[in-house]
Every structure is written in structure tokens, then in C-alpha cells.
Amino acid sequence: MVGIKDVAKAAGVSVSTVSNVINGKKNVGAETKARVLAICKEMNYYPNTVGRTLKSGNNRTILFNFSDFDRSFYLKIINGISDYANANDYDLIICTKKSCEKYMRNNLTSGCIILDEKMKSDVLERAARESYPIVVLDRMLDNPHIKSIVVNNYDAMRQLIQGIVDRGYRKFGFIGGQEHTADNKERYKAFLDVLEHNHINFPRERYFAGDYREKSGYKAAKILMLSENLPEVLICANDNMAIGAIKAFRENGIKVPEDIAVAGFDDCDLAEAMGLTTVTIPNYERGYLAAQGLIENIQGNRNIDTFKITAKVKWRKTVRDRLER
Amino acid sequence: MVGIKDVAKAAGVSVSTVSNVINGKKNVGAETKARVLAICKEMNYYPNTVGRTLKSGNNRTILFNFSDFDRSFYLKIINGISDYANANDYDLIICTKKSCEKYMRNNLTSGCIILDEKMKSDVLERAARESYPIVVLDRMLDNPHIKSIVVNNYDAMRQLIQGIVDRGYRKFGFIGGQEHTADNKERYKAFLDVLEHNHINFPRERYFAGDYREKSGYKAAKILMLSENLPEVLICANDNMAIGAIKAFRENGIKVPEDIAVAGFDDCDLAEAMGLTTVTIPNYERGYLAAQGLIENIQGNRNIDTFKITAKVKWRKTVRDRLER
DNA sequence: TTGTAAGCGTTATCAA
DNA sequence: TTGATAACGCTTACAA
């Protein structure tokens, strides 16, 4: 591998001169500069990031961590991050699982964005420091070097449920997601609050515990169908479960939305194709904002205020107006 | 940041001893080892990858490069790569766009897997070397340090088309993808070969040029509908275009498959939901095999034979048997 | 304007 | 069994 020394030798100058040239320092003669540059190209030389990083620390590189491969909206988030990073001349390293913890400790990167829910918060608290800001998605952390970017699940779910109430529905069913997640709690709380506000009773036996996966929605619907009378509408804490439920209904000859209406949350790819009423989250923008928030903090423009992203209800055909019969 | 020196000082030993301990060398006294380990934990010390890499070169890290965020099967490929890498104690760094070129030249990683079609082949030819093997997906490269893993598009398309012929179809339309890609050429060639073999005429005016995106399928279908008589079946070089075409047909009251049958290629998430007949590619497995091929080569078990992955036809309801009317 | 040399965090060699 | 020291490729004072 050709290194800075080889270039220096070939150009008949010292390594520092080569370094100064490739880093655009202006204390180099025009002639020397041209010669060195020519030789770099000729020898196909590229500075070694590792050597460079080790010395200087700062290297315009950020880290993104995720590990759930089932949710295709992750690609959109990555797209947003990638675009912002590129536009600002930062490199982006993405990693999955535990490698991330390692990279946070090295000065390979100058900061990171965390989406992986399996990443423990206390690890993040320990890794974050003045010279290593962190942005977390979908979780709230109170730390001077960590910025949170979260979706306003509560307001979006409130709008969805109130809209459904306004469309004449009174008898609700609910399939919850992974119970410990902040997402799920917020979504369920909004659901309950709106019903209460409208003096609508929600008996606990119409709550079904799922895990955000399609299968759990399918199973919950199967159980639901055992009961004497179906709810008028089934709210699911995410789209995957809603889709699972719809499949179960169809298999049993129950029509959506004629026999039961269904709503989800997330607006995944399938949601549009299936005509599922849901809540749409601007994922590309979320990634973009995360990268922006991180890079601003890296560059010293400190701002760790939590950013709440607005999500919007998408009315589609799995929920129709009961009053317009 | 706590470094090896800090640990050495705290433990009252030299840095080499600490290094030997954390690398599991056996030339260290049991007592010393225990003390050092305890202090590492206590001080929350993790070796710096950058320093380590700079010195040793080899660092059990591989690189994956992609840059198209529209295709959700990328996540499945990543999942496969990630699982194999993890199981073999390798770190995985994913990067998009041009950062990759940089990382290939450094010894940050020991090899890479390339999916990004925008990555130029000559760059890869230059980067590949004994100590830096490369695996390319979806392209064939003849280089002693590059292994190709490709999908057997030809056989799969042949099966699909022959199956459609067997189901009684004779009048075909075709929407092609990006014309320069190997994928597309192979798929189209198989299509033509099967028709010829069955003595079925395919007039060139029933070929439409697309670009693999949904919109181009939509537009092609719009144009198709201008003609006097529709083909009996429309073959699309991928699912996205097939979906676009189906949307166009539906908007114009043309029923699929009653008025025209449609087939795609890829088996994307939406394909199942829409009942699209297509070809399914085992993406998780593809990623897994790529990681395996790469790591084997890194470890000196040289094998650069091209690997052809078998894809399978998935018959669904957008193509029905014409004979069973 | 250019060169010398120290140092970034680690591992490897060799001597103690 | 342990420690001193050079080396990895680069940047950066500082000296020339």
C-alpha cells in the first residue's frame, strides 16, 4: 500500500510537505504543490484514515446504529442521515449489534445516532461526552451530551382515535405492541385518554398484547374472533400487527371495513397497498434531522433540546364513516 | 478517554503486559492477569480500534457498501451479512456512497462486499489485492481477488415464461429495466429465448423501456393501453414496475388477471400482498453467503469461483391459467 | 517555504 | 513472566 512516505520520496520532499499539500495548508509553494499532487494521482495515493484519525481525533465521521431488519422504514432513515452527512462532507458508518459499542469508545467517529432499542441507555450515558455527542431516536434521555428526537405518538394517536369516534365508532378493540417501549405506552395512553374524554367505555378484555410483529396481530385477531360480538373497530399499535389482523379476518370471511374497521400506525410500505388507515411518520426527514442535530453538536453549536416530530393521520379505506351508510 | 497506559499505571505493570492480557496471550502470570482484568473493568477500558488497526493491520472487520434506499430487500441482505459476521466474530461496517472508496484503501477493514451498482468496476479492480479480497453482488468480474455472487436470473425467468406459455398465453408484452445492467439483459434474453423456443412471435413494439422504478411501469402501461389490443400477459423485469403497471390498469378499469395477466421479478414486500406472480430471490441467504465467501477469502481459503444463486417462481393470482376458463 | 521530530494508542520484538 | 522500545501512517509544532 502506498503511503505518505512513498509520495514524499518520489516527489523529493518531506512527509510534512506532502501532508500540508493534501490537507490544503497554504504554506506550500505553488510549484511543489503541483508536483506533489501530480505524484499523488500518479501513485494512486489516498491518505490512510486510520493513521489520520489516530493523530488528529476529529475526522468528520458519524456513526449510525440499528439492528432490527424487519422494518423497512429504517432504509428511509438511513437515506436521510446519509444525505445530510454527505452534503456536509461527513462520512457515515452504519453498524449493527454490538460493534457499535466499540466504535463509540474509539475516536473513529465523532458522534453517533442510535436507533437500536436493544442498546442500553446506561451505555449511552457513559459514552456521551463533550467531544462525543449522541442523538437518540425514539427514546428520551436526560444527559447534557445526548439529544433526543422522538415522534409525537401521543398527538397523532389522539387525532386518529378522535377521528374514528367522529366517524361514529363506539366499540373499540386494541392490540398493543411491546409493552415496555415508550412508543407503545404513549400510543395506548392517547387511545385511552380520547375514549375517556368521549365517555366511551373500554373493557380491558378488548385489549390484546402483541409484539409489533405481523404474527402477533394475526393471533390476536384469531382470539378476538372467538368472542360473541366483534368490536366495531380494531386499533393496532403498529401496521404490521394491523396487517396480520386483517389477514386473519379475511381468512375467516370477516370483511374489513364492513364487518370491522382496522387502523394501524407507521404507514409502512404495505399500508398504502392495503388501503390501511394509519399514521404516517416522516422517516427520511427524521434521519435528516438526526444527522443535522448530531453534526451541529459536534461542531460545537450545542443544542440538546428534545425534538418532537409531528406524525399525521392517513385516512384510507379500512376505516369508513359509519354514519354514511 | 482511558487508554492502555492508564490501565498499566493503575495496575503497576507495563503497557505490554496489559496488551498481552487483553489479547489473551499466555505469557502472563495468573495473578497479574486477574489484577489487570479487574482494573480494565473498573476503569471501563476498551482497546482503541484505531490504534490497534494501525499497528496490526488485521482487525476482523468487513465492509458492506450500498446506496439505493428504495429497495427494502437490502435490509435482508444486510441481515444475512450481519449474522454471518457476528457468528464469526467479525465486525461489520456499512457505508453508503463514496465513503466506501476511502475505506477500501485503508486497512480499517479486511475486505468488502459491494452491492452498489454505481461503484465502478475499475475502482474495485484496483482496490482488490491479496490482503483485501472483495465480493461483488449482481455483477461478474474477472479478477483473482474478486468473487462474484449473482442470481441466476436466466433460469428463473425461463421457468417463469415457460410456465406462462404452458398456461396458454401467446401474446406477450415486456417492460425492461435499466438497459445496461446485467440483471436486465439476462432477464430479457431468457424471455426472448423461451418465446423463440416455443415459436411465439414477439414484435418489438411490445417492448417498453423502464428503469426499475414503479413510475416507469405505470407510464409503460399507460402507453400500452393506447394500442388497439392488449397483450394477454405483461412481463416486467422487476416487481416495482409490475406494481406501477397494475395501478395504471386498475385506474383504467382493466382487470388483472381477467383482462391482462402480469408478472414481476424480485418478490418484494408488496408482491405478496398484491398477489403478484413473480420470482423470489433468497436475500438473507445471499447476504449470508456473501459474508461467508468474503471471510473465507480473508482467512486465506481462497475461492473466487462465481456463485450462482437459484431463484424460484412464485405463482400468484395475477397470472391464472387461461385454459381453465 | 520546507524539513525535523514528537506523538496519537496499540502490538510485536527482544532483552531482562 | 515482565518491561523497554520500535513501529504502524499520519499531523503538527517548531526549527531551519
What is the per-residue pLDDT across A96-107, written as a single tens digit (0 to 9) for each? 877 888 888 877
| CB contact B92 to A (< 8 Å) | yes
Taking residues A74-98, report their average pLDDT: 92
Which residue in the set B50, B54, B270 is minimally distant from A107, CB to CB? B50
Q: Which of B157, B173, B180, B130 is nearest to B304 (CA)?
A: B130
pLDDT band at B1 (very low <50, low <70, confident <90, very high): confident
CA distance A109 to A91: 9
Taking residues B170-191, report their average pLDDT: 94
Is residue A211 over pLDDT 60?
yes
- Grid coordinates representing A229 are 360480538
Distance from CA of A185 to the nearest CA of B (A): 27
Decide if B43 contacts B73 (C-beta within 8 A).
no
Reported as a single tens digit per residue, the pLDDT across A23-32 is 999 989 999 9
Decide if B272 contacts B300 (C-beta within 8 A).
no
The DSSP H or E segment spanning B76 is: helix B73-87
Highest mean pLDDT among A121-125, B66-70, B271-275, B316-320: B316-320
Is residue A227 over pLDDT 90?
no
Strands (E) across chain B are located at 61-66, 91-96, 112-114, 134-137, 146-151, 172-176, 207-209, 233-236, 261-263, 278-280, 307-309, 312-314
pLDDT band at B281 (very low <50, low <70, confident <90, very high): very high
In sequence order, the β-bridge partners of residue B17 are none
pLDDT band at A213 (very low <50, low <70, confident <90, very high): very high
Greatest alpha-carbon pair distance for chain A in Å reads 89
pLDDT band at A273 (very low <50, low <70, confident <90, very high): confident
Q: Residue A167, Cα to own-chain centre: how many angstroms?
A: 32
Is residue B265 over pLDDT 90?
yes
User: Percentage of residues in chain A with pLDDT exceeding 70?
Assistant: 99
Reported as a single tens digit per residue, the pLDDT across A137-190 is 999 999 999 999 999 999 999 999 999 999 999 999 999 998 888 889 999 999
Question: What is the reported pLDDT for A286?
Answer: 97
Low-confidence winner among A235-239, B53-57, B172-176 (lowest mean pLDDT) = B53-57
- Grid coordinates representing A177 are 405492541
CA distance B325 to B321: 8
pTM summary value: 0.88
Question: Which of A:139-178 have CB within 8 Å of B?
Answer: none
Residue B278 carries which DSSP code? E
Question: What is the reported pLDDT for A2?
Answer: 86
Is residue A325 over pLDDT 60?
no
CA distance B101 to B176: 30
Question: What is the reported pLDDT for B84?
Answer: 96
Taking residues B156-161, report their average pLDDT: 98
| CB contact B44 to A (< 8 Å) | yes
Question: What is the reported pLDDT for A58?
Answer: 67
With CB atoms and an 8 Å threshold, state whether B51 touches A49.
Answer: no
Question: What is the reported pLDDT for B20?
Answer: 94
pLDDT band at B325 (very low <50, low <70, confident <90, very high): low
Give the mean pLDDT of chain A: 93
- Grid coordinates representing A140 are 428520551
Cβ of B104 less than 7 A from strand D = no
Decide if B140 contacts B147 (C-beta within 8 A).
no
User: Percentage of residues in chain B with pLDDT exceeding 90?
Assistant: 77
pLDDT band at A84 (very low <50, low <70, confident <90, very high): very high
Three-state secondary structure of A7-37: HHHHHCCCHHHHHHHHCCCCCCCHHHHHHHH
Residues 16-35 in A having a C-beta less than 7 A from any atom of strand D are 16, 19-20, 22-23
The DSSP H or E segment spanning B294 is: helix B283-298
Distance from CA of A193 to the nearest CA of B (A): 34
pLDDT band at B282 (very low <50, low <70, confident <90, very high): very high
Helices (H), chain A: 4-11, 15-22, 30-43, 49-56, 73-87, 99-105, 121-127, 153-166, 182-197, 214-224, 239-251, 269-274, 283-298
pLDDT band at B196 (very low <50, low <70, confident <90, very high): very high
User: Which residue has its C-alpha nearest to nucleotide D9's C1'?
Assistant: A51
pLDDT band at B271 (very low <50, low <70, confident <90, very high): very high
